[in-house]
Amino acid sequence: MGKNLMKRKEPLTDTQLLMTITIGIFLVMYLLAMIFLQGGFLHTQQIFDMLNDNASLIIVSCGLTIVMIGGGIDISVGAVTSLVVMSCVLYLNGGGNLFVSMLIAVAIGLCFGVGQGFLISYLEIQPFIVTLAGMFFARGMTTILSVNPQKAEHEGFTLLRDTKIEIPWLGYVAKNGNLVPARIELGVVVAFICIILIFVMLKYNRMGRNFYAIGGNQQSALMLGINVKRTRFMSYVLSGLLSGLSGYVFMMHTGAGNATNAAGMEMNAIASSIIGGTLLTGGVGNVIGTLFGTLTLTTIKKIVVSSGFNDPWWQSITTGGMLCFFILLQSVVLGRRSRKKK
C-alpha cells in the first residue's frame, strides 16, 4: 500500500525492567557520591578497585543467579570458594603445578555441584537443606586442611597474581604530579568472560530459556516437554563450577588461604542477585543486573565508610536496608504491572 506502518514497541520484560531500575539506581547513587563525597569517587580507579575486590563475588553471584532463576537456592557457594582457596594454596606450596591447581579448583566446584544437584533434582530433597549441609561440609573440610592462614609461595602463581592490565588514559594524576594508570586484575577479565557467556546462554541457548521456564511455572514447563529434573540439575552443576572458578579468582586476589575465607559470600551473592533484579520465586533475572547489583552493594558500603561510619555493623545495617528496599520495589513494580495487564 506504500505506507510505512509504525512498528509497535515491545514492552520491557520483567527481567529487563528490574535490571534497568537497578542500573539507574546505581548510576544515581554513584553520581551523588561523586558530587557530595568526592575523594576516590572522582577517580576511574575507584570503579576498577570495586571490580578487582569483587571479581570472585561477581562470578559466584552469576552462578547463584542461574539457580535462583530456576527457582532454587544455593547457600554453599561461599564455603566451596573457601575450600577451593585452601586446597589450591596447600597444593601449590607443596610444589604443585599451576595448571593442575586450576583443574583442582574446577573439580572441587563440580563435585559439589553434581552431588547437590543430584540430591535436589532427582531425589527431590529441599535445596536449602542440601546446600546447608554442603556449606557445613565444605567449611569443615577447609578447617581440616589447615586452621592457620596459608600464603601461596609458588613462583608461577605469584607472577600470575601480580599481573595487572594497565590503562594509562583512564588513570589520574597523583598529588606528586605522577600519572597513576588504572589497573585491572586478571580476575576481572575472567569475571566479565563469565558474564558474557552466561548472558548469551540465558538469552539464546535452549537450556538457558529452560531455566526461566522451570522457574516461572514448573507444571507448564513439564507440559512443554522440558526435562525439569535435568534442567534443575544443570543449574546446580553450573553454580558449583562457577564457585570453583570463583575460589581461584579469590586466591589470585588475596594470595592466601584461610579457614574464614569468603565468610558470608553466599549472603552477599544472594543480595547482589536480588538487588540486580533476580526474584527468589524464580523465572526472572539477568547476569547483567547481577553485575550492577554487586556494584550497587559495594558502592553503598563505600559511601557508608566515606561518610565516617567505619564500624562494620553500619555496613550490615545499610546492606539489610538496601535489600529490603529492593525487595519492596520489586513487589510494587511487578504488582502494578500485573494489575495493568489484567
| Domain assignment present for 252 | yes
Tally of CB atoms within 10 A around 181 = 14
3 state DSSP class of 185: strand
- The beta-strand segments (E) located in the chain are 150-151, 164-173, 179-185, 256-257
Please list the rounded mean pLDDT of every run of 10 residues in the chain (342 residues): 50 85 93 85 87 96 96 95 96 94 97 98 96 96 91 92 85 69 92 97 95 93 94 97 97 88 88 92 93 94 85 84 87 74 61
Count of structural domains, the chain: 1
pLDDT for 312: 78
CATH number at 245 reads 1.10.3470
Domain of residue 99 covers 40-302+312-322
Three-point CA angle 11, 204, 54, nearest 5° = 90
Distance from C-alpha of 114 to C-alpha of 111, rounded to nearest angstrom: 5
pLDDT for 267: 92
Three-point CA angle 93, 261, 249, nearest 5° = 65
- State the pTM of this model: 0.93
| Domain assignment present for 146 | yes
The model's pLDDT over 61-81, given as tens digits with 9 standing for 90+, comes to 999 999 999 999 999 999 999
pLDDT for 114: 98
pLDDT for 9: 59
Three-point CA angle 257, 258, 261, nearest 5° = 95
Cβ atoms of 56 and 81 within 8 Å: the answer is: yes
| Domain assignment present for 60 | yes
Please report where in the chains the cell 593442575 appears, as a residue: 100
| Domain assignment present for 117 | yes
Distance from C-alpha of 339 to C-alpha of 342, rounded to nearest angstrom: 5
pLDDT for 177: 65
| Domain assignment present for 126 | yes
| Domain assignment present for 111 | yes
Closest CA to 266 of 64, 108, 105, 55: 64
pLDDT for 160: 92
The residue type of 222 is L
| Domain assignment present for 327 | no
pLDDT for 5: 43
3 state DSSP class of 238: helix
Grid cell locating 155: 613462583
Closest CA to 74 of 247, 239, 231: 239
| Domain assignment present for 119 | yes
